[in-house]
């Protein structure tokens, strides 16, 4: 069983993110919502309708836009032909030109799919989802494997869709993407939702807004040092992994000098020291004890 | 559905290899086989004369016959050539004259008759009855006349199964099938689009091959063109159905290739494409006749060679239609949509 005991409600007009490492059950969840995978049990309603066979199911599909994770579009067709094909499945759709403008692929309309770059292919996949004038857009890892520029272009497309009143459900394993795009996120791990809320709420739940990572020159993480750090003022959590020590702190401007003074007093030197604002990545680490990116 | 069929056709004609295998290959094959088996007859028969007393005289005598070409050979070479079929028969001059040949080879038996005739006449045999040869080459009885309808049938089978099978499995492997499932597209439209696009290519295939046979070898169509068109359409539908069945479960191109060969190879060999299936043992004939390609080839030959009318072809066409309908129905039932 890939997913168990999921209870989510997504409001019209919001952008909801399913977040988690590979294998967390994000794709299974989104495909159940898309009506492509039948759930073993439970209730699924999309736009207020349950999934049904036949005409009712097709009527519901008219209102959705879906981008799947692994679809490879026919390489021999041109961009315009591909969109024309997808357009023909819907009663009420954008014209090819309209949807090309939405994803800024106008200059590629006559290009074969095989000649497109990764980012352009992904924008075409999203265009195939947008061509139906959907009320609800499903995006399964839309930016995985893309360069930063292509990623930002896709974010812009999603923002414009939302500005026009659309609802988005997307999955991602980039926490940064979720923080930037989503009104609310559900963090998933091993088929369960382990946290749910706005990105701001989730980060606030750490009880601290900064993370300090450091490592000692001689390596290792002495137990007595960890105990002293736990007792230090302003430190809400200490985590160790390999030679790295990670502190979650409330007030960086007080905690950092205190840490340096402590290390100097012990006569040990640092081989690494970085700090950053707490992110959803840190929320994931706090909840699971694992790094999101390594998994 | 029209858009789907259009997409299918575009994908096809933008694949030069596929175009060659569907249109070019049968024509090249017809050309090559037509040349190899052209009706110049068997040509000169190669016979050997074993080295020994009187060998040259015998060789010269045999050479004088327009149907024979004789060479004097030593024993070892003669044995080798006889075994590899480079000579049809070996003559050992002497008393009695010995003919050494393989009596299961038509060519060798022909050579035996011809050589014996030449030698006997040289020794003074006369023919008591006067005879005259009247040679006829009737269109319809040549090998190429037999071959073209067979190639047409084989081509319908191949393009039906390849054309449908590969694109379905490729779409499944690339998750394109799943993506289509996420749209309001009707499943039946997807399957019908294959049949529709097959129909368009069918016209081109048939015109190309029949036209080539006509221009190059003068292979005509004795029956009505409408009947021929009807039979090829039925055949194309049946094989598209078979192609869908073959592709209904397979997840990978490798998997479906194996299945396709399993389906097509027996039919290529058994169904009388290149030679008449009457050569198979009698016990196999009912089985061979139940194959769709056999039935289609029989019907095509009946129309092209014998000028048969549609009404007289009920039995083979029922077999073709039955295969098509049953495999389409099963395919629809067990089709893996993702």
Q: Is residue A153 part of a domain?
A: yes
Neighbours of B158 (CB within 10 A): 23
All residues of chain B having their beta carbon less than 8 Å from the beta carbon of residue A58 are 184, 186
Residue A219 Cα, gap to closest chain B Cα (Å): 47
- List, edge to edge, every strand of the sheet that includes B68-73: B68-73, B45-50, B89-92, B98-100
Region for B92 from its dihedrals, namely left if φ exceeds 0, alpha if ψ lies in -120 to 50, beta otherwise: beta
Return the HEC string of A34-72.
CCCCCCCCCCCEECCEECCCCHHHHHHHCCEEEECCCCC
> Contact, B131 vs B209, CB < 8 A?
no
From A68, A81, A128, residue closest to B7, measured CB to CB: A81
Residue B201 Cα, gap to closest chain A Cα (Å): 18
The answer on pLDDT for A156 being more than 50 is yes
Evaluated on CA atoms A118, A124, A129, A134, the torsion sign reads positive
Poorest-confidence range of A120-129, A130-139, A152-161, B43-52? B43-52
Return the HEC string of chain B.
CHHHHHHHHHHHHCCHHHHHHHHHHHHHHHHHHHHHCCCCCCCCEEEEEECCCCHHHHHHHHHCCCCEEEEEECHHHHHHHHHHCCCCEEEECCCCCEEECCCCCHHHHHHHHHHHHHHHHHCCCCCCCCCCCCCCCCCCCCHHHHHHHHHHHHHHHHHHHHHHHHHHHHHHHCCHHHHHHCCCCCHHHHHHHHHHHHHHHHHHHHHHHHHHHHHHHCCCCCCCHHHHHHHHHHHHHHHHHHHHHHCCCCCCHHHHHHHHHHHHHHHHHHCCCCCCHHHCCHHHHHHHHCCHHHHHHHHHHHHHCCCCCHHHHHHHHHHHHHHHHHHHHHHHHHCCCC
All residues of chain B having their beta carbon less than 8 Å from the beta carbon of residue A68 are 175, 178-179, 182
ipTM score assigned to the predicted complex = 0.81
Does A163 lie in the same domain as A36?
A: yes
B186 interfacial to chain A (CB closer than 8 Å)? yes
Domain boundary among A175, A198, A221: A198
The answer on pLDDT for B4 being more than 80 is no
Scanning every residue of chain B, which has its alpha carbon at the shortest distance from the alpha carbon of A137?
B182
Distance CA A23, CA A133 (A): 31
Distance CA A198, CA A204 (A): 10
Q: Is residue A287 part of a domain?
A: no
Q: How many residues does chain A have?
A: 295
Does A237 lie in the same domain as A133?
A: no
Q: In the predicted model, what is the mean pLDDT of residues A195-217?
A: 85
Does A194 lie in the same domain as A60?
A: yes
Q: Is residue A8 part of a domain?
A: no
In CATH, what number is assigned to the domain containing residue A38?
A: 3.40.50.300
DSSP-assigned beta bridge partners for residue A170 = A17, A139
pLDDT value for B42: 52
> Contact, A140 vs A17, CB < 8 A?
no
Report residue B161's pLDDT band, with 50, 70 and 90 as the boundaries: confident
> Contact, A212 vs A247, CB < 8 A?
yes
Joined together, the tokens standing for residue A127 give 């265009």
All residues of chain A having their beta carbon less than 8 Å from the beta carbon of residue B185 are 89
Poorest-confidence range of A124-133, B21-30, B125-134? B21-30
pLDDT value for B67: 82
Q: In the predicted model, what is the mean pLDDT of residues B100-128?
A: 86
DSSP string for A198-233:
-HHHHHHTTT-SEEEEEEETT-S--HHHHHHHHHST
Poorest-confidence range of A138-142, A277-281, B140-144, B223-227? B140-144
CB–CB of A74 and B11 under 8 A?
yes
Does A118 lie in the same domain as A215?
A: no
B336 interfacial to chain A (CB closer than 8 Å)? no
The answer on pLDDT for B138 being more than 70 is no
A121 interfacial to chain B (CB closer than 8 Å)? no
> Contact, A126 vs A94, CB < 8 A?
no
Using a pLDDT cut of 70, give the percent of chain A over it.
98
The answer on pLDDT for A129 being more than 90 is yes
The answer on pLDDT for B228 being more than 80 is yes
Residue with tokens 């077999």: B319
Return the HEC string of B276-320.
CHHHCCHHHHHHHHCCHHHHHHHHHHHHHCCCCCHHHHHHHHHHH
CA angle B133, B138, B141 (to 5 degrees): 110
Counting one residue from chain A and one from chain B, the pairs whose CB atoms sit within 8 A come to 67
Q: Is residue A6 part of a domain?
A: no
Does A181 lie in the same domain as A157?
A: yes
Q: In the predicted model, what is the mean pLDDT of residues B120-129?
A: 83
B338 interfacial to chain A (CB closer than 8 Å)? yes
CB–CB of A61 and B183 under 8 A?
yes
The answer on pLDDT for A44 being more than 90 is no
Give CATH for domain B45-122: 3.40.190.10
All residues of chain A having their beta carbon less than 8 Å from the beta carbon of residue B176 are 71-74
Neighbours of A191 (CB within 10 A): 18
Report residue B40's pLDDT band, with 50, 70 and 90 as the boundaries: low
Poorest-confidence range of A72-86, A157-171, A198-212? A198-212
Q: Is residue A24 part of a domain?
A: yes
Poorest-confidence range of A148-152, A159-163, B93-97, B287-291? B93-97
Using a pLDDT cut of 90, give the percent of chain B over it.
8
Residue with tokens 């502190």: A247
B182 interfacial to chain A (CB closer than 8 Å)? yes
Report residue B194's pLDDT band, with 50, 70 and 90 as the boundaries: confident
B179 interfacial to chain A (CB closer than 8 Å)? yes
Q: Is residue A4 part of a domain?
A: no
> Contact, B68 vs B118, CB < 8 A?
yes
A132 interfacial to chain B (CB closer than 8 Å)? yes
Q: What is the DSSP letter of A4?
A: -
> Contact, B186 vs A58, CB < 8 A?
yes
Poorest-confidence range of A177-191, B17-31, B159-173? B17-31
pLDDT value for A182: 92
Residue with tokens 């759930």: A39
Joined together, the tokens standing for residue A17 give 């993110």
From B10, B174, B185, residue closest to A89, measured CB to CB: B185
Poorest-confidence range of B46-50, B61-65, B131-135, B245-249? B131-135
All residues of chain B having their beta carbon less than 8 Å from the beta carbon of residue A36 are 178, 181-182, 338
Q: In the predicted model, what is the mean pLDDT of residues B143-162?
A: 86
**Mean pLDDT of the residues in chain B:** 84
Distance CA A295, CA A265 (A): 37
Does A262 lie in the same domain as A177?
A: no
The answer on pLDDT for A32 being more than 80 is yes
Q: What is the pLDDT of residues B293-332, one digit of tens each?
A: 999 999 998 888 888 888 888 888 999 999 999 998 898 8
Backbone dihedral angles phi then psi of residue A91, each to the nearest 5 degrees: -80, -35
Q: Is residue A190 part of a domain?
A: yes
A128 interfacial to chain B (CB closer than 8 Å)? yes
Distance CA A64, CA A127 (A): 13
pLDDT value for A17: 92
Q: In the predicted model, what is the mean pLDDT of residues A42-50?
A: 85
Joined together, the tokens standing for residue A79 give 């961009």
Distance CA B71, CA B53 (A): 15
Longest Cα–Cα distance in chain A: 75
pLDDT value for A223: 82
CB–CB of B182 and A36 under 8 A?
yes
Does A218 lie in the same domain as A187?
A: no
CB–CB of A58 and B184 under 8 A?
yes
All residues of chain B having their beta carbon less than 8 Å from the beta carbon of residue A59 are 184
Joined together, the tokens standing for residue A101 give 């403008």
Identify the helix (H) or strand (E) that includes residue A108: none
B3 interfacial to chain A (CB closer than 8 Å)? yes
All residues of chain A having their beta carbon less than 8 Å from the beta carbon of residue B10 are 76-77, 81
Report residue B43's pLDDT band, with 50, 70 and 90 as the boundaries: low
From B3, B176, B178, residue closest to A74, measured CB to CB: B176
From A34, A62, A73, residue closest to B176, measured CB to CB: A73
Does A250 lie in the same domain as A106?
A: no
From A35, A64, A70, residue closest to B175, measured CB to CB: A70
Q: In the predicted model, what is the mean pLDDT of residues B36-40?
A: 62
In CATH, what number is assigned to the domain containing residue A241?
A: 3.30.70.2470
Within chain B, all domains assigned CATH 3.40.190.10 are found at: 45-122
Does A148 lie in the same domain as A59?
A: yes
All residues of chain B having their beta carbon less than 8 Å from the beta carbon of residue A73 are 174, 176, 179
Count of domains for chain A: 2
pLDDT value for B16: 67
pLDDT value for B326: 93
Does A100 lie in the same domain as A60?
A: yes
Residue A187 Cα, gap to closest chain B Cα (Å): 25
CB–CB of A77 and B7 under 8 A?
yes
B185 interfacial to chain A (CB closer than 8 Å)? yes
Q: What is the pLDDT of residues A105-114, one digit of tens each?
A: 999 989 999 9
Q: What is the pLDDT of residues B265-286, one digit of tens each?
A: 888 888 888 888 888 888 888 8
All residues of chain B having their beta carbon less than 8 Å from the beta carbon of residue A89 are 180, 183-185
pLDDT value for A295: 41
Q: Is residue A7 part of a domain?
A: no
All residues of chain A having their beta carbon less than 8 Å from the beta carbon of residue B184 are 58-59, 61-62, 89-91
Q: What is the pLDDT of residues A6-18, one digit of tens each?
A: 777 888 889 999 9
The answer on pLDDT for A24 being more than 80 is yes
Scanning every residue of chain A, which has its alpha carbon at the shortest distance from the alpha carbon of B12?
A76
- In terms of residue numbers, what domain contains A213? 207-277
From A36, A81, A112, residue closest to B181, measured CB to CB: A36
Question: With a CB-CB cutoff of 8 Å, which residues 30-89 of chain A face chain B?
Answer: 34-36, 58-59, 61-62, 64, 66, 68, 70-74, 76-77, 81, 84-89
Q: What is the pTM of this model?
A: 0.74
More confident residue, B2 or A101: A101
B176 interfacial to chain A (CB closer than 8 Å)? yes
Report residue B39's pLDDT band, with 50, 70 and 90 as the boundaries: low
Identify the helix (H) or strand (E) that includes residue A97: helix A96-102
Does A211 lie in the same domain as A194?
A: no
Q: In the predicted model, what is the mean pLDDT of residues A77-88?
A: 89
Domain boundary among A198, A226, A243: A198
Domain boundary among A181, A198, A215: A198
Scanning every residue of chain B, which has its alpha carbon at the shortest distance from the alpha carbon of A31?
B182
Does A25 lie in the same domain as A112?
A: yes
């Amino acid at each position: 069983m890939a997913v168990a005991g999921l209870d989510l409600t997504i409001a019209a007009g919001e952008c909801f993110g399913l977040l988690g490492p590979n294998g967390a059950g994000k794709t299974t969840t989104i495909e159940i919502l898309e009506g492509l995978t039948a759930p073993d049990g439970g209730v699924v309603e999309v736009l207020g309708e349950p999934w049904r066979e036949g005409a009712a199911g097709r009527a519901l599909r008219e209102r959705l836009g879906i981008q799947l994770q692994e679809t490879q579009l026919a390489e021999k067709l041109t961009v315009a032909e591909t969109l024309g094909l997808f357009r023909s499945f819907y009663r009420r759709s954008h014209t090819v030109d309209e949807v090309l403008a939405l994803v800024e692929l106008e200059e590629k309309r006559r290009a074969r799919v095989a000649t497109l770059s990764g980012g352009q292919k992904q924008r075409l996949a999203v265009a195939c989802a947008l061509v139906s004038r959907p009320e609800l857009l499903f995006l399964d890892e839309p930016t995985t494997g893309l360069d930063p520029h292509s990623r930002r272009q896709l974010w812009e497309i999603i923002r414009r869709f939302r500005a026009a009143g659309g609802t988005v459900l997307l999955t991602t394993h980039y926490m940064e993407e979720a923080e930037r795009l989503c009104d609310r996120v559900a963090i998933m791990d091993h088929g369960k939702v382990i946290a749910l809320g706005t990105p701001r709420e989730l980060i606030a739940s750490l009880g601290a807004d900064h993370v300090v990572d450091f490592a000692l020159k001689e390596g290792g993480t002495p137990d007595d040092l960890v105990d002293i750090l736990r007792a230090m003022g302003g430190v809400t959590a200490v985590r160790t992994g390999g030679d790295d020590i990670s502190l979650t702190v409330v007030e960086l401007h007080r905690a950092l000098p205190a840490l340096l003074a402590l290390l100097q007093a012990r006569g040990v030197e640092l081989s690494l020291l970085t700090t950053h604002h707490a992110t959803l990545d840190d929320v994931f680490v706090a909840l699971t004890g694992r790094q999101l990116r390594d998994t | 559905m029209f858009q789907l069929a259009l997409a299918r056709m575009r994908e096809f004609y933008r694949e030069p290899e596929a175009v060659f295998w569907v249109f070019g290959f049968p024509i090249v094959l017809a050309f090559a086989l037509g040349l190899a088996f052209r009706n110049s007859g068997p040509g000169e028969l190669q016979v050997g004369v074993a080295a020994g007393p009187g060998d040259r005289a015998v060789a010269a005598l045999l050479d004088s016959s327009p149907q024979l070409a004789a060479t004097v050979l030593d024993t070892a070479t003669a044995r080798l050539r006889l075994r590899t079929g480079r000579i049809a028969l070996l003559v050992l001059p002497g008393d009695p004259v010995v003919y050494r040949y393989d009596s299961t080879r038509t060519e060798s038996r022909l050579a035996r008759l011809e050589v014996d005739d030449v030698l006997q006449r040289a020794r003074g045999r006369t023919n008591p009855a006067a005879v005259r040869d009247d040679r006829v080459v009737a269109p319809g009885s040549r090998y190429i006349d037999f071959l073209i309808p067979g190639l047409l049938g084989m081509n319908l089978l191949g393009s039906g199964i390849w054309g449908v099978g590969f694109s379905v499995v490729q779409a499944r492997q690339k998750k394109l099938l799943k993506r289509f499932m996420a749209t309001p597209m009707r499943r039946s439209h997807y399957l019908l689009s294959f049949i529709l696009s097959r129909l368009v290519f069918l016209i081109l295939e048939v015109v190309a091959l029949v036209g080539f046979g006509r221009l190059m070898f003068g292979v005509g169509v004795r029956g009505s063109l409408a009947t021929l068109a009807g039979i090829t359409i039925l055949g194309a539908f049946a094989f598209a159905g078979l192609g869908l069945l073959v592709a209904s479960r397979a997840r990978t191109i490798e998997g479906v290739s194996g299945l396709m060969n399993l389906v097509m190879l027996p039919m290529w060999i058994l169904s009388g494409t290149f030679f008449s299936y009457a050569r198979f043992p009698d016990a196999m004939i009912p089985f061979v006749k139940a194959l769709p390609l056999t039935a289609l080839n029989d019907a095509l030959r009946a129309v092209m060679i014998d000028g048969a009318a549609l009404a007289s072809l009920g039995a083979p066409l029922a077999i073709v239609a039955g295969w098509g309908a049953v495999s389409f129905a099963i395919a629809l039932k067990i089709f893996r949509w993702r």
